[in-house]
A = this chain, B = another copy of it.
Amino acid sequence: MIAKELFDPKSIVVVGASDNRSKPGGKVLYNLIENNFEGEIFAVNPKRVDLDGIKYYSTVEDLPFVDLAIIAIPAELCLQTCEVLALQKKTKAFIIFSAGFSEVGNFELENKLRELIQSVNGVLIGPNCIGSIQKKYKGVFTSPIPTYYDEGCELISSSGATAVFIMEAAITIGLKFSNIYSIGNGLQCGAEEILEHMDESFVEGQSSKIKLLYLEQIRNPFKFLKHASSLISKGCKIAAIKSGISEEGSRAASSHTGALASSDIVVRALFKKCGIVYCSSREELISVAGVFQTNEIKGKNFAVITHAGGSAVMLTDTLTTNGLNVPSIDSEKTKDLLKKLHHGSSVSNPFDFLATGTAEHLGEIIDFCENETLFDAMVVVFGSPGLFNVKDVYLCLLEKMKTCKKPIFTVLPSVINAKNEIEFFLSKGKINFSDEVVLGHALANVYSAKNNYLRNKIQLTAMDFAGIRNIINASDNQWLQNKEINELMQAAGIELPFSVEIKEEKEISLFYTKFAFPLVMKVQGVVHKTEVNGVRFPIQSENEMLLHFKDLMQIQGATSVLIQPFLKGEELYCGAIKQGDFGHLVLAGLGGVFLELLHDTSGALAPIDKEEAKEMLTKLKAYPIIKGYRNKKGINEESYIDLITRLAALVYVVPEIEEIDLNPIIATEDKLYPVDIRIRIQ
């Protein structure tokens, strides 16, 4: 729980204060005063600071008790100052602007600070940040200070400058803000802790429902997931950038906020699990936020309404090639509407009411679309060629946005010709998506994130959990042995093909009658079997069995030989890899070239329910092979889904598993046979 003094301090001290606006310790003071912080403001600096509305002290020792400290002094002085504040002045909330901590390798200093602040149950925003904006105070040394709206977006940013750049671009398109958190290095209070606070303090009808994140690191994925999921299940909408996805970008992030790398696929899987909209740029984040702020998209069928044909064509291309629809509408339905518009207008969706179209025409079209069940949402593109004022059109839009139940997204491209009218439009709390294609991508992005699979709501497939734990606890191998693997699979309810492990030649005659030829023989005790020619097939006779057994046992490390039926069918794959604190990433797909060459795998974080497993499969390029196509029958998809959920449940309850590979799984029409399994535990 974050100390309440961060949100509602009765008093604030700026340490390193100044009356010079161009210094952080000055600018923040002016921001506090000019934005009417109602509590007491203290300023500390050896050099006198004279400003109306503040009390000056030359040292922190002289201060009275104070709730929140904003610190703008060199890194090496911070610890001592915070000690005085935390231990003597009852200060609970700290915002440290100063850089020079973990991002330059100074971990020790940052850790000491963190311990100090933990010890008093305090909270530390930063270091290496621009501060925080709250309803009660504006504790940043930057501008702009967005007008505070209770329902405005909350922003959490690893990077202070990026937070500023996001605000600047966002205000320009009409986005509203509430609380801003520049978390900097975020060691004591990161995005996870702020999400936790948002989650626990959420009040329906009062709390903001839009959260925007710019992150360079997710330190505690489970905590992140828990609270992001919870917020989304309460009706919140979250969009996030997690930068540093490339090797080079990750190098940059490390020297910026000391971030550690995590792979993009894992971050995407995490966001998918929560229902967070994944963004790659400030522009995308802001556009998605604009979609959030406008209204909820309930379906994928869009009406495109414009007086500018080119924009309608590009928008329609974008929507329909990204999973949304621009359905055409029967001319019988639109004939009355058409009569009300100028000759030459087109109403088959896109609705193009021509360059000469009026506000009244726009109103008629919007009313039509509002009442036509075919459509779930509308996009209106309306600019100005500069002939006349289009304020009446924007007034009409504002009126319709108030009365219509369906969301109306507005593209007002004439940033020069209709500058004043757009400013008027924005002043009414609305958004201008100035590029129709950028909006189209944001709409598709938001719509596709609607399907999420909240990890804390997934029921684990029933299996012999005690048995599983027993096998794992008893094992002292890094790579599990064949016997252990068989038992583990049995406990997990994953059926294996009948197989026999033999160690001595004489056993062959005992066992071979149990099988029908052809068979496959695999050397045991060796991890990469194929590379040492350790897999032999098809074995057609007892004689061949004997020959190959002798040969296989010659391989270095060979302990025994496994004999299985030689199965033919589609080769599938299912596996999981531990991704540090993110848990296990479960991957599924077809084997062979699909896996090795095309890397055509679907991934999701464990645990996985049947619905998500199904979605994983449908996302594969090779899905038609699973489903069957042309004259070729598919595989037993239900069994594959069942296997994926079992494997995901298994790794979820056995965090010791570092990696598990079922590859290949031979899929005949009715059954799945995992014929080679590797499991490594730590």
Binding site for B on A (CB under 8 A): 21-24, 27, 99-100, 103-104, 130, 141-144, 157-162, 164-165, 168-169, 171-172, 214, 216, 241, 243-249, 251-253, 255-257, 280-284, 304, 307-314, 316-321, 325-326, 328, 343-344, 346, 348, 350, 352, 354-355, 383, 385-388, 413-417, 434-438, 593, 596-598, 621-622, 624-625, 629-630
Q: CB < 8 Å: which of B162, B252, B354, B434 contacts A316?
A: B252
| Contact indicator B144/A386 (Cβ below 8 Å) | yes
Given A417-B164, A438-B283, the answer on whether A309 and B99 have CB atoms closer than 8 Å is: no
User: In whole angstroms, what is the CA distance A308 to B172 when docked?
Assistant: 20
B387 & A310 in contact (Cβ 8 Å cutoff): no
Provide the residues of chain B in CB contact with A318, threshold 8 Å.
Answer: 280-281
Q: Do A310 and B249 touch (CB < 8 A)? A: no
Tell me how many chains of this kind the complex includes.
2
With a cutoff of 8 Å between Cβ atoms, the chain B residues found around residue A144 in the complex are 386, 416-417
A557 to chain B, nearest CB (A): 21
A244-B313 contact, Cβ under 8 Å, with A104-B344, A165-B414, A414-B164 = yes
Question: Do residues A313 and B172 form an inter-chain contact, with CB atoms below 8 A?
Answer: no
What is the bound-complex CA distance between A495 and B630, given in angstroms?
31
Would you give 18 A-B contacts (Cβ < 8 Å), ordered by A?
A: A104-B343, A143-B417, A161-B355, A162-B310, A164-B417, A165-B414, A171-B416, A216-B313, A246-B320, A248-B320, A248-B326, A249-B313, A281-B318, A281-B437, A281-B438, A282-B437, A283-B438, A593-B622
Q: Whose C-beta in chain B lies nearest to the C-beta of A23?
A: B387
CA distance A631 to B600 in the complex (A): 20
- The chain B residue sitting closest to A386, CB to CB, is B143
CB distance from A595 to the nearest CB of B (A): 12
Our pick among B165, B244, B311, B321 for the contact of A317 (Cβ within 8 Å) is: B244
Q: How far is the CA of A573 from the CA of B319 in the complex (A)?
A: 33
A31: nearest residue on chain B (CB-CB)? Answer: B386
Q: Is the CB of A314 within 8 A of B280?
A: yes
Q: Could you tell me the distance between the alpha carbons of A559 and B387 in the complex, rounded to whole angstroms?
A: 71
Assess whether B168 is in contact with A413, with CB atoms less than 8 Å apart.
yes
Provide the bound-state CA to CA distance between A308 and B128, in Å. 12
A104, A388, A593, A596 — most chain B CB neighbours (10 Å): A593
Chain B, Cβ-Cβ closest to A434: B169
**A261 → chain B, closest Cβ, in Å?**
11
Which residues from chain B contact A438 at a C-beta distance below 8 Å?
A: 281, 283
A99 adjacent to B354 (CB under 8 Å): yes
State the Cβ distance, A286 to closest chain B Cβ, in Å.
Answer: 9
Given contacts A321-B246, A355-B99, A624-B597, contact A165 B311 (CB under 8 A): yes
Q: How far is the CB of A174 from chain B (nearest CB, A)?
A: 13
Residues of B within 8 A of A383 (CB): 161, 164-165, 168
Using CB atoms, name the residue of chain B closest to A280. B437
Give 10 nearest A-B pairs by CB, closest first: A159-B310, A256-B309, A162-B310, A281-B437, A143-B386, A161-B308, A249-B317, A255-B346, A165-B413, A142-B385
Minimal beta-carbon separation of A549 from chain B (angstroms)? 24
- The interface residues of chain B lying within 8 Å CB-to-CB of A158 are 310
In the bound complex, how far is the Cα of B384 from the Cα of A143, in angstroms?
Answer: 9
Assess whether B387 is in contact with A317, with CB atoms less than 8 Å apart. Answer: no
The distance from the CB of A123 to the nearest CB of chain B, in whole angstroms, is 23
Is B413 a contact of A248 with CB atoms below 8 Å? Answer: no
A328 near B251 with CB under 8 A, answer yes
Neighbouring B residues of A309 by C-beta, 8 Å: 159, 161-162, 252-253, 255-257
CA distance A311 to B243 in the complex (A): 9
When C-beta atoms are compared, the residue in chain B nearest to A598 turns out to be B621
Contact of A160 among B22, B385, B415 (CB under 8 A): B385
Q: Given A168-B417, A281-B437, A355-B161, is A317 in contact with B245 using a C-beta cutoff of 8 Å?
A: yes
What distance in Å separates the Cβ of A423 from its nearest Cβ neighbour in chain B? 14
Contact assessment for B386 and A27 in the assembled complex, using a CB-CB cutoff below 8 Å: yes
**A321 surroundings in chain B (CB, below 8 A):** 245-246
Q: Closest chain B residue to A440 by CB distance?
A: B281
On chain B, the residues within 8 Å of A168 by CB distance are 383, 413-417
**A169/B435 in contact, CB under 8 A:** yes
Rounded to whole angstroms, the CA-CA distance of A596 and B280 in the bound complex is: 33
**A162 close to B308 (CB less than 8 A):** yes
A477 → chain B, closest Cβ, in Å? 28
A214: chain B residues within 8 A (beta carbon): 310
- A243-B436 Cα distance, complex, nearest whole Å: 13
Q: How far is the CB of A598 from chain B (nearest CB, A)?
A: 6
- Which residue from chain B places its CB closest to the CB of A130 in the assembled complex? B385
Shortest A93–chain B CB gap in Å is 22
Given contacts A142-B417, A597-B624, 8 further A-B contacts (CB under 8 A): A103-B344, A161-B310, A248-B320, A248-B326, A249-B313, A249-B316, A256-B309, A281-B436
**Does A310 contact B23, Cβ atoms closer than 8 Å?**
no
A417: chain B residues within 8 A (beta carbon)? 142-144, 164, 168
Q: How many angstroms from the CA of A27 to the CA of B158 in the assembled complex?
A: 51
Contact B385 A344 (CB under 8 A): no
In the bound complex, residues from chain B placing their C-beta under 8 Å from that of A251 are 316, 328, 348
CA distance A161 to B307 in the complex (A): 8
Q: How far is B388's CA from A142's CA once the two chains are assembled, in angstroms? A: 10
- Contact in complex: B630, A596 (CB < 8 Å): yes
| A172-B252 CB under 8 A given contacts A313-B216, A313-B243 | no
Chain B proximity of A264: nearest CB distance (Å): 9
Contact of A597 (CB < 8 Å), options: B326, B352, B625: B625
User: Does the CB pair B247–A320 fall under 8 Å?
Assistant: yes
- What are the residues of chain B within 8 A of A157 when measuring CB–CB? 310
CA distance A196 to B103 in the complex (A): 57
Could you tell me if A162 and B241 are in contact, using CB atoms closer than 8 angstroms?
no
Instruction: Check B256–A141 contact: CB distance below 8 A.
Output: no
Chain B residue at minimal CB-CB distance from A437:
B281
- Interchain CA distance A352-B314 in the complex, whole Å: 38
Chain B nearest CB, measured from A92 CB (Å): 27
Q: Decide: B243 and A317 in contact? CB cutoff 8 A.
A: yes
Complex: A608 Cα to B317 Cα, angstroms: 30
B143 in contact with A385 (CB, 8 Å): yes
